[in-house]
Homo-oligomer: A and B are copies of this chain.
Amino acid sequence: MIHRKSNGVFIIAATPFTDSGALDLDSADRMVDFYLEMGVSGMTILGIMGEAPKLTSDESLTFARHILQRVAGRVPVVVGVSGPGLDNMVRLTGEVMGAGASGVMVAPMPSLNTDMKQKGYFAQVCNALGPDVPICLQDYPQTTGVNFSVETLLDIFAAHAQIVMLKHEDWPGLTKLSRIREATGQRAGRLSILTGNSALFLPQEMQRGADGAMTGFAYPEMMVQVVARHLAGDVDGAEDLFDAYLPMVRYEQQLGLGLAIRKEVLHRRGVLSSPKVRAPGPALSDLDKAELTRLTTRLEAKLAAFS
């Protein structure tokens, strides 16, 4: 189970498709192996990057079960269960927890535009899922349109012990992270804070007390090493390594388009058979692909000089 001291890199996993758009479970296996080999501490599936809303109910379940089986308990797996109705959320949660998931991730519905609606919603969710399901709350206003104040988040954490993790991706959000880090442990119990936003501010966020990252950058080895160096006290070394990758991080962190870039990189790295994104979705032009090649080449040169 995920818990209040979970740390490291929980990689946000893509959902692999064949060129024709069918679930590609062979690539899913390779992807699991790749992520584990890179040293991730956990995995998150069926998130926004996982194209969850484009799967049928059956496909979601098939994919989740397949991943859970391949991971086989080696690292915790968090499953995204967000959606417009609680009935579906309860059903999917029951199924994946039964199949070995270590927790679920819940993002707020777009209509939660006041503090009281936000508190009410997470009370409903926690009540519906039951107290034994550990929850990671996703704070991602750029995509959900829902803005939480620090105080509202702390109230929610204090009210619901089962929320043990925060996926932090408000932006600009550095002060928010510092304030939540400081306050939890006092008011609401220590909480695991993993950062998102494609890791664009990973060194700053680690310096401000994050426990790691939960995002899908296609070079997980960078994130793993940055977090590890940090935990080992090598703050400058962590940031040096990060900065070498920053041009690529910045390139992947293009809202919407980022998914296509990641799948292309994972395809080039031999992980995914196809970079296919389900329609309607973004696609890379030839120019984009050449630009990506240029950035990759520059990254490799920089890494060579680095080591």
Query: What residues make up the interface of A, taking CB atoms closer than 8 Å to B?
Result: 21, 51, 53-58, 83-88, 91, 109, 111, 113-117, 121, 124, 128, 141, 147-152, 171-172, 174-175, 178, 200-201, 204, 207-208, 239, 243, 246-247, 250-251, 254-257, 278-280, 285, 287-288, 291, 298
Contact = CB atoms under 8 A, between A and B. Distances in A.
Contact of A150 (B116, B124, B239, B250): B116
Given A53-B85, A55-B88, A114-B148, 20 more contacts: A53-B84, A54-B87, A55-B85, A56-B57, A57-B58, A85-B280, A114-B147, A115-B115, A115-B151, A115-B152, A117-B149, A121-B280, A171-B254, A171-B255, A175-B288, A178-B285, A178-B287, A239-B298, A243-B298, A246-B250
B150 A85 contact: no
5 contacts: A85-B278, A109-B280, A113-B147, A116-B150, A175-B287
A83 B21 CA distance: 17
Secondary structure at chain A's binding surface: helix, strand, loop or mixed? Answer: helix
A85 to B, nearest CB: 3
A88 B86 CA distance: 20
A178 to B, nearest CB: 6
Contacts of A285: 175, 178
A114 B84 contact: no
A121 B150 CA distance: 16
A114 B152 CA distance: 9
A151 B116 CA distance: 8
Most buried by B among A91, A113, A257: A113
Nearest to A51: B85
A266 to B, nearest CB: 19
A142 B86 CA distance: 24
A160 B184 CA distance: 30
Contacts of A117: 149
A287 B208 contact: yes
Contacts of A58: 57
Contacts of A84: 53-54
Contacts of A21: 87
